[in-house]
Amino acid sequence: MNPGNLKHRIRIEKREPGQDPVTRKPKYVWALFAKSWAEIMQPKDRWIIQAAAEHQETTVWFRIRHREGIEAGEMRVVYKGQPYKIKEVIP
């Protein structure tokens, strides 16, 4: 990994149980887990682009230094105010 490519600041957030302050109903809130520098890559293979067009979704890869505790499904990445679901964590 070239550390010079880690030039984008991202937030990794974890979903935690909380409570609505007005209605007092339980709801999930996003809490900061970590801030990290990342390299952002978008796949260029033809099949990924076709799948994204069919499902109206964008695939983005965030490459960061190794960090313990990141889980797919319960966490998300926020980059420039845009949240991205973490579908898979690859060591």
Report domain extents, the chain.
3-85
Q: Does domain 3-85 have CATH number 3.10.129.10?
A: no
Give how far Cα 36 sits from Cα of 26, 45, 53, 85, 91, Å: 30, 27, 30, 16, 16
Q: Is the pLDDT of residue 27 over 70?
A: yes
pLDDT at position 45 is 65
Q: How confident is the model at residue 46 (pLDDT cuts 50, 70, 90)?
A: low
Task: State residue 49's pLDDT score.
Answer: 60
Which is more confidently placed, 7 or 47?
7
Does 33 score more than 60 pLDDT? yes
